[in-house]
Structure 1
Amino acid sequence: MEYFLIKQTFEKCGIIVRRVYVLCIEGLIPVATKIGSYWAIPADAEKPYKCRKEGAI
């Protein structure tokens, strides 16, 4: 399975890096996994409802 880091997710989702980080912390990206000090988000994860664009992250 391919994973994205927060910066890569930001580029694909079109929202600021800090917002992606907050969404991970709040559990709004339930498939996000914290590995050490980094968040890993599966490439095929659905965008949280608070993202403005449609589709997968």
Structure 2
Amino acid sequence: MEYMTTTEISKIWNISSRRVAILCEQDRINGAIKKGKMWLIPDDAEKPNDARKKINVIGEI
């Protein structure tokens, strides 16, 4: 398995590297490990949904 840094993943996912680090800290990226001060993320990891945004469900009030 290959690993990528928060900077590399942030470019692929089009979000900031700080946001990727926060997702790692919240254990929202499967397989992410911390090596010293650096997060290593599997290259096949999927971008988690943004929990900060509410999703409107049709039919609910």
**Structures share a fold, TM > 0.5?**
yes
Alignment of 1:1-57 (within 5 A): 1-50=1-50
Q: Is the 8 A contact 2:5 2:41 kept in 1?
A: yes
CA distance in 1, matches of 2:37, 2:19: 16
SS at match of 1:11: helix
Residue 48 of structure 1: how far off its partner (Å): 0.8
Q: Which residue of 2 aligns with 1:55?
A: none
What TM-score, normalized by structure 1, do the two folds share? 0.80
Query: Where in structure 2 are there 5+ consecutive unaligned residues?
Result: 51-61
Residue 24 of structure 1: how far off its partner (Å): 0.5
Q: Percent identity?
A: 42
Moved over 6 A (4+): none
What TM-score, normalized by structure 2, do the two folds share? 0.76
Bigger Rg, which one? 2
